[in-house]
Amino acid sequence: MEKVYTIFVINPGSTSTKIGLFRNETEVFSVNVTHDASELKTFAQISDQFDYRRDTILAEMARRGLAMETVDVFVGRGGGLVGLEGGTYPVNEILLEHARVGFTVKHP
Domain extent for 47:
6-77
Beta carbons of 80 and 99 less than 8 angstroms apart:
yes
At residue 66, the pLDDT reads: 93
What CATH number is given to the structural domain containing 27?
3.30.420.40
**Alpha-carbon distance values, 98 to 50, 51, 82, 91, 92 (Å):** 14, 17, 8, 11, 10
pTM of the model: 0.79
Residue 32 lies in a domain: yes
Assess if residue 100 is contained within a domain: no
Q: Is residue 18 part of a domain?
A: yes
Q: pLDDT tens digit string along 16-53?
A: 999 999 999 999 999 999 998 899 999 998 888 989 99
Task: Confirm whether 21 is domain-assigned.
Answer: yes
Query: What pLDDT is stored for residue 80 in this prediction?
Result: 66
- For residues 68 and 6, give the distance between their C-alpha atoms in angstroms, rounded to a whole number: 10
Classify residue 99: in a domain, yes or no: no
Q: What's the number of domains the chain is made of?
A: 1
